[in-house]
Amino acid sequence: MASSTSLICDTEAWKDLKGHVEDIKKNHLRDLMSDVNRCQSMMMEFDGLLLDYSRQGATVETMDKLLNLAKDAQLTEKISRMFNGEHINSTENRSVLHVALRAPKDAVIKADGKNVVPEVWNVLDKIKEFSEKIRSGSWVGATGKPLKDVIAIGIGGSFLGPLFVHTALQTDPEALECAKGRQLRFLANIDPVDVARNINGFNPETTLVVVVSKTFTTAETMLNARTLREWITAALGASAVAKHMVAVSTNLALVEKFGINPKNAFAFWDWVGGRYSVCSAVGVLPLSLQYGFSVVEKFLRGASSIDQHFQSTPFEKNIPVLLGLLSVWNVSFLGYPARAILPYSQALEKFAPHIQQVSMESNGKGVSIDGLPLPFETGEIDFGEPGTNGQHSFYQLIHQGRIIPCDFIGVVKSQQPVYLKGEIVSNHDELMSNFFAQPDALAYGKTPEQLQKENVSENLIPHKTFSGNRPSLSLLLPELSAYNVGQLLAIYEHRVAVQGFVWGINSFDQWGVELGKILATQVRKQLHSSRTQGTALEGFNYSTTTLLKRYLETSSEPQM
């Protein structure tokens, strides 16, 4: 068992898995897939979802060994500590309670001895009331017009999750109906081009700006907020800010200082990590403004269903636990550093970008939770695109180049079905034919013998051979309603936590992104003084000095 000062790689279970790698390498997925009992044991169903992990490079024995690893990692205890509100984010001395954000009203989840669920629901009720006022037109802008358009300003966790959910709901029939006549956009990048794209076609008179920032200090978000405040006040006068700008933050003092009435601020709490905040006002406010609170509530219920499954289901049937353990197996034992997230659904086009942050900001760590350097890699490189677009892009590398475990995500019922007369299948069936075919192509490959039988010319046989034995898993959702989107989100959030718990790291801090924030400060000061006082460049290396010189000499930025 791993004690607080030892590493998981020193446990018997870890060593046992290391020894097991050679056994697994002797098996080709082609053979593993012919063992029906094995495959049956690798199908898991919960609340309408079907997970099939039979195409993982794993046997029943591997799964037993991974469950032993979970035991040695004290996974049960760590999950309980999370749900019990203990300060498991030890470097920031915080609880990790995003599960409380979607808990039913009568649940009891405590942080520092206090049930936080009533506070959560106070904010949710406030969002419900406010979003109904905006959507019904009873809250109007400074010139008396209803606010039909929303720009949500935020970056990282204050952007990617809400964008993913918004993109997923856009074509859901119920959400689409509820969003009629309304638009929601997201402004994240400090690049002024992003500002231009966001305000293009919008009128300040009919636009509500939601400033979303946990800290209310993030440089990009605050400059974008000042830029849109200027856009509003230039058109409508300073007093219009009260009607056209609201905020989501844990720092209500800074919200007030910025000029937004704290009454129009929606709180969340330090026990919600930025990348885990989509179920707080960070996501719930903009999404409720667009789709109405009742749609968003379904999304929260879907996430909550997975929370309960995660908390109470034995590990051998627990979807996030199984997924997390398999990722640890792929990264730490089989040595695959990446993971492709491949939703066969255009509505999930922003899922991979969101999971990139959830996973890579959480698990890209070099030391254990106790600060010990890790002699093994943690985290994986996440990337992905919706199928079939990805097939025509990077799948070549996945089929014949590097081995990249793939997550295939499919949906039974399309949000927007199309059936064309004369076609042999519906458009959705065409899409899903690929979802079903690709995992087998990766697992089985194509042998030189098969190619010879097909009379492929000898010189092309090496090029057309597919080694196969490439792992994947398939997750089939019944449909892509708000509820299912919530389920999908929570599965991945918990999977990432499981990985971090097993590796023995802190998946809830993000010190690695702090350096970048500080580094820009020196350049910002230099740009200001060079432009306003012609100050010579100082304190930079040859490379940066040359680049800055070129930038200052040739750019046509307006002088301050």
Binding site for ligand F6P (CB under 6 A): 155-158, 213-215, 218, 221, 274-275, 361, 510, 513
Place of tokens 């194509």: 446
The encoded tokens of residue 227 equal 């830029």
Stretch (H or E) spanning 32: helix 29-32
**Nearer Cβ to ligand F6P, position 361 or 385?**
361
Separation CA 137–CA 28 (nearest Å): 62
**Nearer of residues 274 and 386 to ligand F6P, judged by Cβ:** 274
**Number of Cβ atoms within 10 Å of the Cβ of 449:** 10
Among residues 307, 303, 391, 310, the alpha carbon closest in space to that of 343 is found at 391
Residue 393, classified by CB atoms within 10 Å of its CB into exposed (0-12), middle (13-18) or buried (19+), is: exposed
Question: Does residue 148 sit in helix, strand or coil?
Answer: coil
Selection from 506, 361, 365 nearest residue 4 by Cα = 506
d(CA 23, CA 333): 12
Catalytic residue at 361?
A: yes
CB-based contact 507:378 (threshold 8 Å): no
Residue 327, token pair as written in the block: 């990722």
Residue 303's Cα: distance from chain center in Å? 13
Between 171 and 356, whose beta carbon lies closer to ligand F6P? Answer: 356
If the CB atoms of residues 211 and 527 are measured against ligand F6P, the closer one turns out to be: 211
Which residue in the list 205, 220, 297, 361 is annotated as catalytic? 361
Nearest approach in angstroms of CB 279 to ligand F6P is 14
Q: Closest CB to ligand F6P belongs to which residue?
A: 274
Nearer to ligand F6P by Cβ, of 166 and 275: the residue is 275
DSSP letter, residue 364:
-
Residue 59: CB minimum distance to ligand F6P, A: 38
Residue 240's Cα: distance from chain center in Å?
35
Tell me how long the chain is. 560
Of the candidates 184, 242, 251, the one whose C-alpha atom is nearest the C-alpha of residue 212 is 251
CB of 112 to ligand F6P, least distance (A): 21
Alpha-carbon distance 429 to 68, whole Å?
Answer: 40
Q: How far is the CB of 194 from ligand F6P (least distance, A)?
A: 15
**Residue 513 or residue 536: which is nearer to ligand F6P going by CB?**
513
Q: Which of 517, 525, 528, 538 is catalytic?
A: 517
Name the nearest CA neighbour of 107 among 391, 311, 255, 246.
Answer: 311
Report the nearest approach of ligand F6P to the CB of residue 262 (Å). Answer: 17
We find the least distance from the C-beta atom of residue 452 to ligand F6P, in angstroms, to be: 53
How far is the C-alpha of 383 from the C-alpha of 339, rounded, in Å?
A: 7
- Which residue in the list 25, 317, 392, 525 is annotated as catalytic? 392
Closer CB to ligand F6P, 148 or 166, in the complex: 166
Closest CB to ligand F6P among 361 and 407?
361
Does the annotation mark 65 as catalytic?
no
Q: b or e along 453-473 (b: 16 or more beta carbons within 10 Å of the residue's beta carbon)?
A: eeebeeeebeeebbebbbbbb
Active-site residue flag, 517: yes
Catalytic center residues: 361, 392, 517
